[in-house]
Structure 1
């Protein structure tokens, strides 16, 4: 989801350097509360990470940066610039919760009015900006998957500025950083820390994904007495006994049917989100084992096959669904649904194309946006899409042989709010959890609205059951009632909605929009240009055919009159409709590159997805430049 000024640096001609704007913000974390300045960091290489807490790609980047921060600890300072997409994300409490939940140890500045975002000409999340020791922008990269490229860029800067005498070595150690690092690695094992999902066993015990404690907590039916934990509380990926196993930000949980569990030898399936794995737990012995995923994050290529040979990407929730004959996986990292067969030991794409958006269609053609919560109600699978603030469903199509995706509540990537009433006008804000309530209605953990919402499938009406919660992320139905997983309050609390058939209150909130302004384009022909500059020491790899690929589509489809589809050229002329006010241009680009300094070069694919909000005006621009990686233009 990136739009930045085009950068063409494949030529060797010199460029004027661009001075990096000074850091500003309304609050700082991991600095002892003191603001940092580029002037004060002169002599260090500074890596600015423009992120927002609800963006799964931004979460991937946090993991990519950790080894770089360790490798270059004496010369590199990472500063997270938190520029919010949703209204809730702009609050200080929200940023503080995200820093703790995600284990962010480097300095973070809140940019609630997106001032730094605009000064650095950032257009989407995540964007990385490298500032050299003299205070000039040296490199810009959009999206994720740039770890190796950044390593080369930083290494080159170290060599250059050490020779010039402008590099200042010495670990950056603000007063609060050491304490934050210890806190963010866990240590709350006597209680919950940012729990995310929960399920109930047949015996009435409640299993909770204790996300920031990197473990699964098992409570008695009173939802208070802690019986045991799966995982030792430290971030990692270790199979074995319950007290030595390790997870990384586990989230979704599902129990397998008894006949399936007896065959495969485990009862509980866990979406081990930050490890990009599915883990199985034998609830009798406590043994934990990996059952799907390689530990590598999926970037491109086949995502179907033997489960232990297939890369996954941020599985966020899991749910057994008899109709599909397996476990549906909310693959938040690439905006799809997967299907895991525990008996056959296979996983496959179930729905979605990997394009981020909201499009109802047959399962293989539908668009999703950070699928985050799943629930089964008979022949229908319900789900919440966080980035489109939508409640959606999957069911059999008219032939009975395939599946089709529909939307009950939700509009697009940029519209949200807290509004009840008829489904076609109701609004959510980044919901993460969902369940079927005892009365058959659908309960939604409307995370960024701090509310529990109720959708009645029979009437199509939405109401609010509970408000003023701290980032609720799931709901779980127990014998003693419905409980809310109140993540930022580190607890499970009763829903307290009165009788089971209570319909709640009606909230008439305003329609809000993502803060990022749309790009204004002219109707008619517009030149779309995607620039990719291979990292230092690499070149485009065309040994087996074209090294680049470009796919363009639009929502609504009528926005794009001509120029859609797939091609190999990263430049294309598209024709935009004159009778459509605006929408979203969906652009997917990829490029293959290889190292040039090895007999057997390491090759990789860089892939970037953009969802570019556009508004059509007669005086709009006739060009749309996009960049995957490069250095700034003059």
Structure 2
């Protein structure tokens, strides 16, 4: 999807004074406490984010060039308004600021006070404040950078002329960097002994240093490194290649390693690419991904299928979106990729180069069934079990998913997990069990599954035989991956502790622990609905220089569903238009609405014909909105959201 906006498109006309910035404290300011008064004279962008959110991480990278270009007049303030309980921990937030190399002030907003003051509805939300302290734009979602560039230039010119723009350095003060072998390691892989001179070694993605490190059995001593350690994108040798926050790793089967001339596939997350590594030579190459984040665009955008990848397409021309983990599947005869940015699993045949959507419609949520109809939510960890099944952890639904293969097609089930806004720390059966933003997993020798329950700082255990979730270990610092190490004395775990910048060995106890601490829900407030009906409106205006593509009828579309499904009695489904009347189940009082809005526009001025061979663009926005029916006449009977760049 192409997204282009102008200042004219995103600037609001109402003159509204910005609310004060209220929270627990500030990061990246050298302990200084900021206020809007102290920021007067600067253009301010408030970036409402939470560090679990893939879309928020995309926006962090979108804003970097803007911050660099306007460094003397623009101040970005990250307002961290957490979804998960763990994200409200100030130490966890500080670690996230360091991990993602955030170079602007961050306000810690654990009680969502500033979030609510600015009526944010989704992560991420961007609010632009002019040098006099007035709100000039309010945007949700990704893809606004071009419109922001135009708006900031317009504000600079306007307030330079008025004398209200103050140039000079902003309030950002960098924090100290972690020391040691790793900085926020992501994933790990045990290597065959031939790659360690006869000894067992491990390959680790040193994510925040943008490189890979091969280490000895002591889990600390580096054998060699791959990548220059400078953030970027470049193929080449072990010394010159560049990565950008590499995550998952997969060792290819021996027969493929010999055939293809490389050994390991790397999910290079921020570069939106799959990279290959020859362990003997250290050479790094790109095997898939154009480097552009996967969106919908092209000449046939109006009829584009977000799940479609042309057969025979050059894998280097296909856009990916934040690949987070990768595993080779014998059943699929392909690599399976956790495409966190689109809430899907992709397949990649390294021999033919064919990429395809393997599972997930692209809708964010938890829905079981046939892989082509299933929903995932920021899948972040993958393994293949000994029986050939695939196990997946979805971080945003805190869920454990299983994919089994049959002649009738692959099927998805969810042994653990309830929905987008339900999490906690509870052992037990599926009805009761809860985790919190899990990122990794491994299969134990008895066939059961160990899970890196990242935001609970725990290793959990799932037994298919009993259907129960239990606890193996606690007190870890954001475990992000797990390996199983077999020794003469039995098996033990190797855990990647991201926030401790280390790999740690953890015993597998004979008797499993059981810890119940109650279930939780996100601190994000539910939208309060008046009664048994709801009018939904998605607002859209084509960017300047484009017009709606009405050549084949209404070019807009809404897709609406809910969890639970019976919350909507009438009005669910997919149809043309950006308005919908919903009849709600009077017996169901709370739910999550899943909404996808689309509109097609082509290059051409309003009132004129669309030129032949004009570039056409499909704009799409997805929302997952928790709602509660109150019966109170003062609450909402209409829900209005913006489809990309309209206030």
Contact 1:254 1:270 in 2 (8 A): yes
Deviation at 1:60, TM superposition (A): 0.4
Could you tell me which residue of structure 1 aligns to residue 227 of structure 2? 231
- State which of 614, 618, 621 in structure 2 corresponds to 1:608: 621
Secondary structure of 1:74's counterpart equals coil
Could you tell me which residue of structure 2 aligns to residue 375 of structure 1? 383
Secondary structure of 1:21's counterpart equals coil
Q: Distance in 2 between matches of 1:220 and 1:66?
A: 36
Could you tell me which residue of structure 2 aligns to residue 194 of structure 1? 184
Contact 1:205 1:221 in 2 (8 A): yes
TM-score by length of 1: 0.92
- State which of 201, 205, 209 in structure 2 corresponds to 1:213: 209
Q: Distance in 1 between matches of 2:336 and 2:473?
A: 29
Query: Across the two proteins, how many residue pairs are aligned to each other?
Result: 609
Could you tell me which residue of structure 1 aligns to residue 631 of structure 2? 618
Q: Distance in 1 between matches of 2:37 and 2:619?
A: 33
Could you tell me which residue of structure 1 aligns to residue 415 of structure 2? 408
Contact 1:587 1:611 in 2 (8 A): yes
Structure 2 gaps, min length 5:
1-7, 194-199, 297-305
Q: Distance in 2 between matches of 1:559 and 1:255?
A: 45
C-alpha change, 1:383 and 1:568, in structure 2 (3 Å) is same
Could you tell me which residue of structure 2 aligns to residue 280 of structure 1? 276
Q: Distance in 2 between matches of 1:240 and 1:303?
A: 31
- State which of 75, 78, 98 in structure 1 corresponds to 2:76: 78
Q: Which moved more, 1:560-569 or 1:305-314?
A: 560-569
Contact 1:141 1:628 in 2 (8 A): no
C-alpha change, 1:221 and 1:479, in structure 2 (3 Å) is farther
Q: How does 1:230-629 map to 2 (within 5 A)?
A: 230-300=226-296, 301=306, 303-304=308-309, 305-377=313-385, 378-397=387-406, 400-480=407-487, 481-498=492-509, 502-534=510-542, 537-542=544-549, 545=552, 546-593=554-601, 604-619=617-632, 620-629=635-644
Secondary structure of 1:495's counterpart equals strand
C-alpha change, 1:136 and 1:166, in structure 2 (3 Å) is same
Q: Distance in 1 between matches of 2:9 and 2:50?
A: 31
C-alpha change, 1:363 and 1:310, in structure 2 (3 Å) is same
Q: Distance in 1 between matches of 2:281 and 2:437?
A: 37
Q: C-alpha offsets along residues 181-221 of structure 1, whole Å, 9 cap, x if unaligned?
A: xx4xxx85x51000011111121321111110111110123
Q: Distance in 2 between matches of 1:410 and 1:217?
A: 34
Deviation at 1:439, TM superposition (A): 2.7
C-alpha change, 1:297 and 1:544, in structure 2 (3 Å) is farther
Deviation at 1:232, TM superposition (A): 0.9
Could you tell me which residue of structure 2 aligns to residue 4 of structure 1? none
Secondary structure of 2:475's counterpart equals coil
Structure 1 gaps, min length 5:
1-8
C-alpha change, 1:142 and 1:353, in structure 2 (3 Å) is same
C-alpha change, 1:551 and 1:492, in structure 2 (3 Å) is same
Could you tell me which residue of structure 2 aligns to residue 5 of structure 1? none
Contact 2:233 2:243 in 1 (8 A): yes
Secondary structure of 2:507's counterpart equals coil
Q: Distance in 1 between matches of 2:619 and 2:57?
A: 18
Q: C-alpha offsets along residues 332-363 of structure 1, whole Å, 9 cap, x if unaligned?
A: 10100100110111110000011101111110
Q: Distance in 1 between matches of 2:290 and 2:377?
A: 24
Q: CA RMSD in A?
A: 2.2
Deviation at 1:581, TM superposition (A): 2.4
Deviation at 1:302, TM superposition (A): 5.3
Q: Distance in 1 between matches of 2:646 and 2:237?
A: 49
TM-score by length of 2: 0.90
